[in-house]
Amino acid sequence: MNIMKFRPLFYLISLSLLTVSIFSIVKWGFVKGIDFVGGTVWELKVPNLKNSDPIQKIFDTEKIQLSSVTAEGDNKYLLKFANINQDQKVALDNSIKTIDKDFQELRFETLGPSLGKELLQKTIYAIILSSIALLLFIGSRFKDLTFGASAVLAMFHDSIILVGAFSLLGHFLGAEVDALFVTALLTTLSASVHDTVVTFDRIRELKRTSYNLSWVEMANQAVSEVIVRSINNSMTVIFMLLALVLLGGDTTRWFALALLIGVVCGTYSSTGVAIPLVLLWKRNKK
Amino acid sequence: MTSPNIAKTKRIFWTIIGLTFLTIIINLPNQLPINIHLANFNWNHTFYRPNLNFKLGSATITKNFDLKYGLDLAGGASLIYDIDTTKLNKSDLTSALDALKSNIERRVNLFGVSEANVQLSKQADKYRLVIELPGVTDINQAISLIGQTAQLTFKGVVDLPPEATASAKIEDYFKDTGLTGSNLVRAAAQISPNTSEPEVSLEFDNEGTKLFAKATKEFLNKKIAIFLDDQIVSAPVVQVEIIDGKAVINGSFDLQTAKTLAAQLNAGALPLPIKLIQQTQVGATLGKESIDKGIKAGIVGLVVVSIFMIGNYGYLGFISVIGLIIYGLITLSLYRLIPVTLTFPGIVGFILSIGMAVDSNILIFERMREEIRKGKAWNQAMELGFGRAWDSIKDANACTIITGLILFNPLNWPFLNTSGMVRGFAITLILGIAIGIFTGVFVTRNLLRVLARGKNNI
């Protein structure tokens, strides 16, 4: 199977995905969750309440700007607003008690903006640290730093596309970027490399056993040997994630979707990005 | 490795079976009532999951196998405070932070929460206080209790006549002196010039001096108890009447406890100002829902993956599904044994790891097919498949573990994440990968050696 002759197509796919991602990130940015910008999420069940108007009125009286109210059915409401202090919380509690003294607080979360900056910083540090660690690890396992560098570049490719996808999803469907998204992003890093290493391993083996093959020939043979495995493996992970998307709640759904995009990207990029990059480096060598 | 020793393989096989039963027992529900009704035969019995409880020399080892749930699943409140350390000398920092922590711990204990957790964390040059209160539903009350000003009071210890002790309440033993923390000018830890022992010196304001003189006169040769938040900190015996408003508390202090007490007394409030920056409250019902959803998703996913594997690899797939079930049992057992506190991202990590656990099997089975296509005999192809796939399994999973470790941040590096959510995910991912390699390679290989000996087709 001469998959490597499709390299121009892979370049085209990757470059357009990257372009769209970067365009969206620059143009639309993200819908940032409270983990990043601070703010409050309040989920409550008010049995006596038929619609959310009285809640709106309470917030008007307390002079707190409600940024969104979602009725989740079953008399549950999800409110989002700015970061509030303790006195304001007590006042809100008391006002809602006047509507229904038996209201139930399902979830209340408020945090200041300072934590968000830290989260971003820590994510970037984690990505840098992972990249260096993986670059060195793969480089040493394959006794060739070009392998490490290609795997890490493919990993960046996947991360940018995932981040871009969430910028688009945020712009059109309101998907939020939060601490869970960061976790999904970091998992994508490892899933992407996992796949790449399996393919590289075949090249390593071929280099040992078949001296007369060129790099392109080795790449072709390696890819055709592992492609069934790659697809099957991605399928099983995708099944598990689909189960999560279908059954989980709102927060899980985006989390699982992020992982899903990451896994699909990771499978594609081992063949479509990592190997062509190695070939690019080795093009003058036999 | 191509011709494995049959006796050894059988031993390993039975060890695996034994291990599986052990993990089944660990994962049994706490109580398992069984009722059998057959015509005239009735049999009712409730099985209890055995918990570890045995003596080893002088040490007693007890361990129960309950799954631990994090705040997001069990319900409860978590609070994060910024600690303002700007007004403090570097040298006093450690003792002030310790005093703050023990102060808060005392207040949290007043709240009567079991398994409350108070932690200091350092972010760059900022200090934070993280408080977790499982099961607490009234977060407002918790916040006001934690943020309150500590009450320092001095009370004389009254000798009650013997006939009154039977009916006496605790309050009857103490007489308020009217002296409070607001009368204290400063407290300091020092080494006593007389005894060379650490002690805490107190200095009162004018009104406090008068009150203290009166109290020391009244309770000469008796005890005056010092209360902080209604708990006795110390109850020194008054040795002389003190009229200059200066006192020392001595007792069995070491320098550290003396410093801590001084810091607590100085504060009146907390030794360091704190500011609430994050509060999270999860109701128990929401947590229960999340657990149910996670279990449902796990089962659905597992069934689909099983169908896929059996459909694709037939008998081999069936064995790998058995391996997968053993994988699930071992993982859950380890969660119970370590114990791993399960959070929602943790459950997601577990479900994801089930998908990844079959990866080694897919790698191996594809390798086997290749070898069979090359004309190798089934048994030989199997051993070759496992052997050849091992290199890539090893390296690929090592990469995932590297990322997992960076997420988990075992050394608590301040520049990396320390949040419970991300860590909960990372720990289940790391455990999943490690156990996945064990079941996917070691367990399925030995199962296949025993169960599929002599088979010649896939």
CATH code for the domain of A254: 1.20.1640.10
Alpha carbon separation from B59 to A14, A75, A262, B56, B382 (Å, rounded): 62, 54, 49, 5, 48
- pLDDT attached to residue B1: 45
H helices within B219-283, ranges in order? 255-267
- pLDDT attached to residue A275: 92
Q: Which residue shows structure tokens 């040795």? A: B239
For residue A169, give both structure tokens: 């999803």
A139 and A19 fall within a common domain: yes
Measured between CA atoms, the residue of chain B closest to residue A187 is: B403
The H or E element containing residue B83 is strand B76-83
pLDDT tens for each residue of A130-181? 899 999 999 999 888 999 999 999 999 999 999 999 999 999 988 888 877 8
Q: Which domains, from first to last, does chain B contain?
A: 6-50+284-451 (1.20.1640.10)
Confidence band, pLDDT 50/70/90 cuts, at residue B413:
confident
The answer to whether the CB atoms of B351 and A240 lie below 8 A apart is yes
For residue A253, give both structure tokens: 């759904």
A96 and A229 fall within a common domain: no
H helices within B282-419, ranges in order? 284-313, 315-337, 344-373, 378-408
- Any domain includes A169: yes
The whole-angstrom separation of Cα B191 and Cα A52 is 65
Q: In degrees rounded to 5, what are phi and psi of residue B409? A: 55, 60
- pLDDT attached to residue B78: 84
The answer to whether the CB atoms of B392 and A201 lie below 8 A apart is yes
- Any domain includes A269: yes
Q: What is the DSSP letter of A274?
A: I
- pLDDT attached to residue A147: 92
The answer to whether the CB atoms of A236 and B359 lie below 8 A apart is yes
A99 and A144 fall within a common domain: no
Report the candidate in B334, B304, B352, B299 with the shortest Cα–Cα distance to residue A194. Answer: B352
- Any domain includes A192: yes
The whole-angstrom separation of Cα A139 and Cα A200 is 11
Q: What is the average per-residue pLDDT within A57-69?
A: 83
- Who has greater pLDDT, B313 or B67? B313
Q: In degrees rounded to 5, what are phi and psi of residue B36? A: -115, 125
* Angstroms from B301 CA to nearest CA on chain A: 4
Q: Domain of A105: which CATH number?
A: 3.30.70.260
The answer to whether the CB atoms of A179 and B421 lie below 8 A apart is yes
Confirm if B208 and B184 have CB atoms less than 8 A apart: yes
Q: What is the average per-residue pLDDT within B31-49?
A: 71
Give the Cα-Cα-Cα angle A45, A47, A51 (nearest 5 degrees).
85
Q: What is the average per-residue pLDDT within A11-25?
A: 94
* Angstroms from A202 CA to nearest CA on chain B: 8
Q: What is the DSSP letter of B182?
A: G
Q: A179-209 and B420-437 helices cross at what angle (nearest 10)? A: 30
Confirm if B369 and A108 have CB atoms less than 8 A apart: no
Contacts of B425 in chain A (CB under 8 A): 183, 187
- Any domain includes A286: no
In the predicted model, is pLDDT for residue B268 greater than 60?
Answer: no
Residue A82 at interface with chain B, using a CB cutoff of 8 Å: no
Domain of A59 in residue numbering reads as: 39-111
A152 and A250 fall within a common domain: yes
- Any domain includes A95: yes
A148 and A259 fall within a common domain: yes
pLDDT tens for each residue of A257-277? 888 899 889 989 998 999 999
A154 and A204 fall within a common domain: yes
Q: In degrees rounded to 5, what are phi and psi of residue A230? A: -60, -45
Contacts of A189 in chain B (CB under 8 A): 403
* Angstroms from B426 CA to nearest CA on chain A: 9
For residue A37, give both structure tokens: 């910008």
A147 and A63 fall within a common domain: no
pLDDT tens for each residue of B55-89? 666 666 566 677 778 777 888 888 888 888 777 77
Contacts of B305 in chain A (CB under 8 A): 236, 239-240
Looking at A58, A83, A111, which one is the last position of a domain? A111
Beta strand A176-177 with A31-32 is parallel
- pLDDT attached to residue B63: 63
- pLDDT attached to residue A251: 67
In the predicted model, is pLDDT for residue B457 greater than 50?
Answer: no
Confirm if B112 and B314 have CB atoms less than 8 A apart: no
A155 and A277 fall within a common domain: yes
The whole-angstrom separation of Cα B208 and Cα B202 is 11
- pLDDT attached to residue B2: 45
Confirm if B385 and A278 have CB atoms less than 8 A apart: no
Q: How many residues comprise chain B?
A: 458
Report the candidate in B294, B324, B329, B292 with the shortest Cα–Cα distance to residue B27. Answer: B329
A120 and A172 fall within a common domain: yes
pTM for this predicted structure = 0.73
- pLDDT attached to residue A19: 95
Q: What is the average per-residue pLDDT within B248-260?
A: 73
Looking at A86, A111, A136, which one is the last position of a domain? A111
Q: What is the average per-residue pLDDT within A67-72?
A: 80
Report the candidate in B447, B443, B441, B311 with the shortest Cα–Cα distance to residue B385. Answer: B441
Percentages helix, strand, coil for chain A (3-state, rounded to 5) are 70, 10, 15
Q: What is the average per-residue pLDDT within B218-222?
A: 84
The whole-angstrom separation of Cα B440 and Cα B286 is 35
A15 and A71 fall within a common domain: no
Looking at A111, A146, A168, which one is the last position of a domain? A111
Q: What is the average per-residue pLDDT within B264-280?
A: 71
Its ipTM equals 0.80
- Who has greater pLDDT, B249 or B300? B300
Q: What is the average per-residue pLDDT within B144-158?
A: 71
Report the candidate in A142, A157, A145 with the shortest Cα–Cα distance to residue A202. Answer: A142
For residue B334, give both structure tokens: 């380890």
Number of folded domains in chain A? 2
The answer to whether the CB atoms of B355 and A190 lie below 8 A apart is no
Among the partner residues B300, B388, B403, nearest to A247 by beta-carbon distance: B300
The answer to whether the CB atoms of B415 and A189 lie below 8 A apart is no
* Angstroms from A64 CA to nearest CA on chain B: 18
A94 and A119 fall within a common domain: no
Q: Over chain B, what is the mean pLDDT?
A: 78
The whole-angstrom separation of Cα A203 and Cα A221 is 8
- Any domain includes A161: yes
Which percentage of chain B shows pLDDT scores above 90?
3
Task: Count A/B contacts: CB-CB distance under 8 Å.
Answer: 203
A128 and A216 fall within a common domain: yes
- pLDDT attached to residue A277: 93
* Angstroms from B346 CA to nearest CA on chain A: 11
- pLDDT attached to residue B458: 43
The whole-angstrom separation of Cα B451 and Cα B446 is 8
